[in-house]
A and B are shown apart, each in its own frame.
Chain A
Amino acid sequence: MSAGRPPSLLGATWVLVRKDLLLEWRTRARANALVFFALATLLLFSFALGPDTTILRRAAGGTLWLAILLASVLALGESFRVEQENAALDGLRLAPADARALFLAKSLANALLLMLLGAVILPVLAALAGVTLVQGPGPMAVVLVLGALAIAGPGTLYAAISSQARARDVLLPLLLFPLLIPALVAAAKATSLVFEGDPMLQFQSWLGLLAGFDLVYWSLGFVLFPRVLED
């Protein structure tokens, strides 16, 4: 209608996602740091579990997701710290865009970053632990997408809260980790089924659990995020 009409929810989301990805692409510092952090975690796990390859192989699914989870805490905290420089968050709040678009955009950008991270460290894990994608790359990609969404959705909501609190580096994992346990279990189990084959045909069910988790927490985050940003 008039020129002052606010942008639609999806339109605003798209603009904000592009803004975040562009910011990421221009510096690439955050993505690089994340990849090195995750690789260091993988190496540490390999040393801690010892040189026994059967143990490494059996733990590979869990190792992958713990590396991604630990790196995600850095990524999530950073994604809001960026906005607080030069009070960019206040600028976004003043914009006519919906706060929920901001949630969708931030979560999506974070999820994309985590998917990329997973794809990069996967070959390294395969080499370190001696695993192969028995089920093929398709199922692995699905697990990676659903798992990254599961971390990024509630993670973005909690990062928005903890970034403005005291002791934010302690608070984010304290809030986020217990919440993510079901998703972590599902993603790790599904990943090991991709690595080792699926005798009892459980893969679909773990994916279902992961998808259900995504839907529950993305919906709740969508509804509640505007309350986190107001005031």
Chain B
Amino acid sequence: MTPLLAEAGRIQGGWSYVWTAYGLTWSALALYALSLWLRRPRKEP
């Protein structure tokens, strides 16, 4: 067994994927909230 195989089976690190995922979620939620705010019904057009 090579040393690489002994480590295999478990993902090392990978925080970049996690931060991408969470950052994407937050910005998508914020953008959608913003779009709803911009489209809000107003009394007088």
Query: In the complex they form, do A and B come into direct contact, defined as C-beta atoms under 8 angstroms apart?
Result: no
Q: Which residues of B contact A (CB under 8 A)?
A: none
Q: Which residues of A contact B (CB under 8 A)?
A: none
